[in-house]
Structure 1
Amino acid sequence: MKKQPTPAANPLEAATQAVYQAFAKYSAPEVGTLDVCTACCMDADVALQMSRLPLRQLTEKHFYQYNTSAKSEVQPADEIKYFLPRMLELLAQGARLHHSIELYLDRVGRCESGAYSAEEAAALLDYARAFFSQGLAHWRPDSEGLFQAEYAFSILLMWDYAGVPLAPLLDDWLADRREAATLNFVESYYWEYWMDGQTINNAFAEAPFQKVMQDWLNNADNKTDWEHKLLRLLHEGLPSDWRSACKKCGKTHHPLAKRFNTVLDALAS
């Protein structure tokens, strides 16, 4: 019987394997040296397992405790780079790695400046781009999806905390002509920006992130490009809304047509 060819990996799977290759030389931290607090933040047995278990056997439970534990302001780069491939692999599977999605990869961005080689930084960026692109393919909030029912601006903030440059992700989004990518923009703009007086309303969004997003959102060429995409989608017809009617009054508050037209008007102003 002729052997069937192995299906090609999707871009996110390929990017995950590339991260494993780029960070393959690092070893598990020695027992007792893990940058955590086992007095009150992390179970001592779980911390021990992170040094002793094979990397691919570490689970969401390990990294949730690891990432929410008290930690050093500057992170030990070799420790982070050893764990990073598995963290990203779990992230691609929908794992919860912290109580707040924006901080899932906070440790990654806390290493000293220059800690990542050009190859390592490129592998991390390629993964971020693949992750963001795949997440934008789905518009309706899904707690089991890549974005875990969060809006796209919050996902960008997660990558900002990881130290990943946002410009390539924003360029990719602007160039993305998929309906779902455009609808993701509408939702993020409306709920995470317009509703709070046209400023990013995320408590974790500090001044540098705010500036990057303001510059991108208010760039005249970008606004025109988004306006054209919204008009094309309006011409083709909006999909049905994912928001259900209120059980008390029977109305759908902030219906899609309102969200869409609000963003369109803001872009045209």
Structure 2
Amino acid sequence: MSRPVAEQADERLDQAVGTLYATFARFELGPVAGCPHCVGEDDQREIRRAPLRELTGEDLDHYAFKAISTWGDADDLRHFLPRLLELAAHGDLPVDVATVVGKLRLARWSRWPPDQRDAIEAFAGAWWRRTLTIFPAPDDAATVLRAIGQAIDDLSPFLSAWLDPPTELAARHLAAFVDELAHSIRRRPTGPVLPGWWHDQPAQLLTWLARPAVRNTVENAFFDASSAPIAAEMSAAADQLAWLPPPGP
């Protein structure tokens, strides 16, 4: 991937993060009520240790795990959300990113005002695009897409972006995802094919993976591979794509 494309992805992510901070700035930090059995005084001090933009993943990891369920409400989440998502996008939050993004569904973010929803969706798109320009990334494409899927049901815009443009780095993420999926199917031959995804997303993913464009991307990446190990990744992915099960009804 050319350096300008990666730089553009970084810039777009920075802009999306800036929009998050601007959009949610109205939610100032007040008392954040928590379950006394789950949240202690030390935990409360950690989330107030520094200004929002200076809080670290270690400062926020306990809150990120407990938010909404046993610590704070939707407005509290909106205060911390820009920093939580910024840290998640850079791999600086110890909590699993799917857990963090999943708090949005618990907070019923789909009912939030349009400017707040737009800021979150723009961030998700920028985070995804940036992920596809880095390999290895702070979190691989499968992990980021699974996280995004905790809040956004329709993954088709993100799947389309995976092949636009069909770069070697994006293809390597795709090969890794196919490998992960193949191993998941082998481990759970009679159970869910894609555990950890939401509603009909497994069928959506399998339908997309069955498209000729996906196989063509992998095959072209094999022929254009910049090294023998990368060609081997693509060869294995092409073989695995050939026996993936069709999407369910």
Match of 1:72 among 69, 74, 78: 69
Which residue matches 1:120?
A: 116
Which residue matches 1:56?
A: 53
Report if aligned partners of 1:50, 1:58 keep a CA contact under 8 Å in 2: yes
Q: How does 1:252-263 map to 2 (within 5 A)?
A: 256=233, 259-263=236-240
Match of 1:154 among 139, 143, 147: 143
What letter matches 1:139 in structure 2?
Answer: F
Match of 2:207 among 218, 236, 240: 218
* Deviation of the 1:166 alpha carbon: 2.5
C-alpha change, 1:241 and 1:183, in structure 2 (3 Å) is: same
C-alpha change, 1:238 and 1:257, in structure 2 (3 Å) is: farther
C-alpha change, 1:264 and 1:203, in structure 2 (3 Å) is: closer
Which residue matches 1:12?
A: 13
C-alpha change, 1:167 and 1:265, in structure 2 (3 Å) is: closer
What letter matches 1:161 in structure 2?
Answer: Q
Report if aligned partners of 1:186, 1:263 keep a CA contact under 8 Å in 2: no
Which residue matches 1:247?
A: none
* Deviation of the 1:184 alpha carbon: 1.0
Looking at structure 2, the residues matched to 201 and 264 of structure 1 have their Cα atoms a distance apart, in angstroms, of 14
Which residue matches 2:79?
A: 82
Moved >6 Å (runs of 4+):
none
* Deviation of the 1:119 alpha carbon: 1.2
Unaligned 5+ runs, structure 1: 1-6, 243-254
Give TM-score scaled by structure 2 length.
0.78
Looking at structure 2, the residues matched to 194 and 157 of structure 1 have their Cα atoms a distance apart, in angstroms, of 16
1:234 is the counterpart of 2:232:
no
Report if aligned partners of 1:23, 1:82 keep a CA contact under 8 Å in 2: yes
Residues 74-100 of structure 1 deviation map (CA, whole Å, 9 limit, x = unaligned): 9722111111111122223321241x3
Higher relative contact order (CA 8 A, sep 6+): 2
Which residue matches 1:37?
A: 35
C-alpha change, 1:66 and 1:164, in structure 2 (3 Å) is: farther
Residues 29-66 of structure 1 deviation map (CA, whole Å, 9 limit, x = unaligned): 32xx33x3353x44422313425742123221122111
Looking at structure 1, the residues matched to 71 and 149 of structure 2 have their Cα atoms a distance apart, in angstroms, of 16
Looking at structure 2, the residues matched to 240 and 95 of structure 1 have their Cα atoms a distance apart, in angstroms, of 32
How many residue pairs were aligned?
A: 235
Which residue matches 2:100?
A: 104
1:205 is the counterpart of 2:197:
yes
Give TM-score scaled by structure 1 length.
0.73
CA RMSD of aligned residues (A): 3.3
